[in-house]
Amino acid sequence: MKQVVLCFFMLLASAGILRADPVTFEATVNSNNISLDEVIQLTLTFTGVNDNLDPVSLPVIDGFSAKYLGPSTSVSFVNVNGNSESHSERSFIYNLFPNKVGKFQVPPISATINGQTYSTKPIDIEVFQSSAQAQSQTSSQVTGQDQAPGNESIKDKVQLIATVDNTNVYQNEQIPLSIKLLINGVPIREIQYPQFDKQGFLVDDYDKPLQGTQVLNGVSYDTAEFKTRVYPSRLGDLTLGPAQIQFNVLYKTSQASPFNQANNPFGGDIFSNFFDSYAVRPMTVTSQPIELHVAALPSDGRPADFSGAVGNSFDFQASVSPLKVKAGDPITLKMDVTGNGNYKNLQMPVFQASGFKTYSPQIKAKGDEKTLEEVIIPTSTDIKEVPALHFSYFDTSTSTYKTITQGPFSIQVSAPNPDQEFKAVGFSNLNTAPLITPTNQFSWRKIFKKIQEYLTVLLKSIWFWTGFGFLLLAAVSFFIWRRFQEKLENDPAFARRFKAVKEARQALAPAEKYISKGKTKELYALLSKTLCDYLANKWHYYSAALSVEEIITRLKKANLDTTHINQIKALLEQCDLVCFAGANRDAAQMRADLSLTQELINYLQQHLK
């Protein structure tokens, strides 16, 4: 049957009855007046071309950034005066994102087909500050009126400011760095952590981002502040930054995307149709670089035991316990350093003293604190004290070296008991008088026999076995509990996975209060953050670095149910629309979304490993 139809059309074409359209090339836009937060759809259409065509490379369009969406092809047959004419179209569709307010023009676009060049006509577009102004301009064009647009850019609405407390610093000094993203009325989502060139610096991890508001030059901004600490490792003039932050901007479109329609009576997925009215544009905002002058630490006055610590307000504490021991018994030496400074190069004081046997210390660093714990053993009864310990550092607030001294610590060391089996190597000045043990006072055979009798009676007692079983169960339980606690302390990924669901349920506690008070934006910000934080904990990942696309990709790799994945995607996008695009939700919808969030977290807890 297919061969018959094909031959029929071939005969028509050979007889000149089937005719094709001449080649044309046209550019169209769906609107000539838009606001700064909207997106234009540019369509380049070829008519009368049956060959496969590659997408057209757009020229630079002043005032706009372009993103290619995809192709569209259609072929139809029309009966004209008894002849069948074919009508073929090949279109390429682009989104044009406005960068600033003003009057602009899409220039002529050229394409070459079969050696012949075709060009489109230029298109005038005007970008306004708001949708109301764009609609008003469209109406005024009909009535012959005109308006002068403002002079504002999308980049004026998003700024990135990097600051430090001081630009004249010392090598290895701790420098608090603040990178603040300021947003004025621009709906954005999926903000990434700041990036900058770290050459010449050691850099800490970022603290948890802080959200707030700030007025700058009379303009109110929403802010997201990222804080960390940097440590210059080179001398001279160093450039810190510029810092960059990547994020996505939501733009309103005037029609649904033609690429997400399914062949069903409703024109595709209901969630897709709703969110297709928004387009996503990736953007990068850059801060100004910071020029630092890094000086070397002075050599004058530098203590011989300088620890390498650079900072201010350091405090050093040390202790020993117990203070009364026998020769060969262990003493625990503890040191603790706190304060504001560089802990990366900080070396704890080294204990060295004659008459002591020492072991490798355990050193831990957490935040602005570093601790040391070491076992020392006195080997002689002549030892009367643990010598003083010194911690030296360079104080950046006074540009001088300082030393903190702890001790000496008085101790009492007595001789070990005569029957003490353990003796440390190197003991001296101990009582070496021979131990005289009286004989014939007892019989070993009688003692062993007595012990055997007691054991025989004990092993026949049910209370003995009950107590033994209880002690064994307690010991095993304690061992399992201790191993579990050690895993929580030493395995951050396991700890985050274990605590994920508890933290998520605690985080949702204020949700009902937000619903009762009608705080829609606060509720959906909470739902989005809770769900993202939960997934970040399960995956041991940064929550702020999880985009919706990455979440969906990871969930699909985990082979979760498609329905639940779609629900998670729709919920997160709904949260973005409420928080950044001003979408409205009533109390019933808010409560339903809260319930859905709780159900999704319970489902993920059961199925996400």
Beta bridge partners, 337, equal 316, 370
Residue spans of alpha helices (H) in 386-519: 444-459, 462-490, 492-507, 511-516
Asked if residue 292 has pLDDT above 50, the reply is yes
Residue 51 to residue 118: CA distance in whole angstroms? 16
Where b means 16+ CB within 10 Å and e means fewer, 12-49 reads eeeeeebeeeeeebebebebebbbbbbbbbbbbbbbbb
CATH architecture of the domain covering 15-143: Sandwich (2.60)
Entry field: residues in the chain: 609
CATH architecture of the domain covering 300-414: Sandwich (2.60)
The predicted model gives 141-158 an average pLDDT of 56
Quickly count: other Cβ atoms within 10 Å of residue 123's Cβ. Answer: 18
Q: Which residues contact 79 (CB under 8 A, 6 or more apart)?
A: 85
pLDDT at 146: 45
Residue 597 to residue 567: CA distance in whole angstroms? 9
Domain 154-294 has CATH 2.60.40: yes
Identical fold for domains 154-294 and 300-414, yes or no, is: yes
pLDDT in tens, 471-486: 889 889 888 888 877 7
Residue 328 to residue 340: CA distance in whole angstroms? 39
The answer to whether residues 187 and 252 touch, using CB atoms and an 8 Å cutoff, is: no
Phi-psi region of 82 (alpha: psi -120 to 50; beta: other; left: phi over 0): left
pLDDT in tens, 67-126: 887 887 665 544 545 555 556 778 888 888 888 888 899 999 998 888 888 899 999 998
Q: Which residues contact 587 (CB under 8 A, 6 or more apart)?
A: 515, 518
Quickly count: other Cβ atoms within 10 Å of residue 242's Cβ. Answer: 16
pLDDT at 185: 78
Q: Where are the beta strands (DSSP E) in 81-154?
A: 83-98, 102-106, 110-113, 116-119, 123-128
pLDDT in tens, 395-453: 998 999 999 999 999 999 998 876 655 444 444 444 444 444 444 455 677 787 778 87
Residue 90 to residue 183: CA distance in whole angstroms? 40
pTM of the model: 0.53
Where b means 16+ CB within 10 Å and e means fewer, 167-203 reads eebbbbbbbebebbbbbeebbbbbbeebebeeebbee
Question: Which of 327, 323, 321 shows the shortest CA–CA distance to 381?
Answer: 327
Q: Pick the more confident residue, 196 or 140.
A: 196
What are the residue ranges spanned by the domains of the chain? Answer: 15-143, 154-294, 300-414, 493-607
Quickly count: other Cβ atoms within 10 Å of residue 303's Cβ. Answer: 14
Omega before 408 cis (within 30°)? yes
**Highest mean pLDDT range out of 85-99, 132-146, 152-166, 314-328?**
314-328
Q: What is the CA radius of gyration of the chain?
A: 38
Question: Which of 401, 165, 169 shows the shortest CA–CA distance to 296?
Answer: 169
Question: Which of 484, 527, 500 shows the shortest CA–CA distance to 609?
Answer: 500
Residue spans of alpha helices (H) in 540-561: 548-557
Tokens matching residue 499: 């605590």
